Structure 1
Amino acid sequence: MSTIHIGVCGWGDHHDLYTQGVKNRDKLSVYASHFPIVEVDSSFYAILPQRNYESWVRETPDRFGFVVKPYQAMTGHQRGSAPVDRRELFRQFEESIQPLVEAGKLKALLFQFPPWFDCTRENVQYVKACRQALAAYPFAVEFRQRSWFNVQFRERTLDFLRTIEAAHVLCDEPQVGNGSVPIVVDVAHPARALVRFHGRNHSGWRDPGEGQNWRDVRYLYRYSEEELAEWVPRIQQIADDADEVCILFNNNSGGDAAFNAKQLADMLGVRPSGLNPRQMELF
Structure 2
Amino acid sequence: MGDILVGACSWTDRQLVASGWYPRGRRDAEGRLRHYAERLPVVEVDSGYYALPRRRNSELWVERTPDGFRFDVKAFSLLTGHPTRPEALPADLRDRAPAGRHGRGPADPALLDEVWGRFAEAVDPLRTAGRLGAVLFQFPPWFTPGAPAEHFLEDCAERTKGWPLAVEFRHPDWWHPERADETWELLASLGATTVGVDMAQGLTASLPPLLPV
**8 Å Cα contact 1:140-1:166 kept in structure 2:** yes
User: Compared with structure 1, are the counterparts of its residues 82 and 141 closer, same or farther at alpha carbon in structure 2 (3 Å cutoff)?
Assistant: closer
Instruction: Give the Cα–Cα distance (whole angstroms) in 2 for the partners of residues 176 and 47 of structure 1.
Output: 35
Return closer, same or farther for 1:72/1:176 CA change in 2, 3 Å cut-off. Answer: farther
The CA distance in 2 between the partners of 1:16 and 1:171, in whole Å, is: 28
Q: Report the structure, 1 or 2, having the larger helix content.
A: 2
Tell me, yes or no, if structure 1 residue 74 matches structure 2 residue 72: no
Q: Is the 8 A contact 1:175 1:181 kept in 2?
A: yes
Q: Counterparts of 1:179-190 in structure 2 under 5 Å?
A: 179-187=205-213
CA deviations over 1:71-94 (Å, ceiling 9, x no partner): 011001116246332222211111
Which structure carries more relative contact order (alpha carbon 8 Å, separation 6+)? 1
Other-structure match for 1:198: none
Partners of 1:123 and 1:176 in 2: CA distance: 25
Offset of residue 63 of structure 1: 1.0
Relative to structure 1, the CA distance from residue 118 to residue 92 in structure 2 (aligned partners, 3 Å threshold; closer, same or farther) is same
TM-score (norm 2): 0.82
Cα deviation digits, residues 116-172 of structure 1 (max 9, x gap): 211122111101111111111010101011010112211100010111110111121
Query: Aligned runs of 1:4-15 on 2, under 5 Å?
Result: 4-13=4-13, 14=16, 15=19
Check if 1:153 corresponds to 2:179.
yes
SS of residue paired to 1:110? strand
Alpha-carbon distance between aligned partners in 2 of 1:153 and 1:82, rounded to the nearest angstrom: 27
Distance (whole Å) between structure 1 residues aligned to residue 176 and residue 106 of structure 2: 32
Residue identity in the other structure for 1:83? A
Unaligned runs of 5+ in 1: 188-283
8 Å CA contact 1:145, 1:178 repeated in 2? no
- Aligned pair 1:28/2:52, yes or no? no
Q: How far did residue 184 of structure 1 move? A: 2.7
- The structure-2 alpha-carbon separation of the partners of 1:99 and 1:146, relative to structure 1 and needing over 3 Å to count, comes to same
Number of residues of Structure 1 aligned to a counterpart in Structure 2: 187
Moved over 4 A (4+): none
Q: More deviation in 167-176 or 131-140? A: 167-176
Asked if residue 133 in structure 1 is aligned to residue 173 in structure 2, the reply is no
Aligned-partner Cα distance in 2 for 1:158–1:82: 28
Q: Following TM superposition, by how much is the alpha carbon of 1:48 offset from its aligned partner in structure 2, in angstroms?
A: 1.6
Deviation at 1:23, TM superposition (A): 2.4
Which residue in 2 is equivalent to 1:42? Answer: 47
Structure 2, unaligned stretches of length 5 or more?
84-102
Q: What's the CA shift for 1:21?
A: 5.5
Deviation (angstroms), 1:55: 0.7
CA deviations on 1:6-27 (whole Å, 9 max, x unpaired) are 1110001213421245323121
> With structure 1 as the length reference, what TM-score do the two structures score?
0.63
Cα RMSD (Å) of the superposition? Answer: 1.6
Q: Following the alignment from structure 2 to structure 1, what is the Cα–Cα distance between the partners of residues 199 and 146?
A: 23
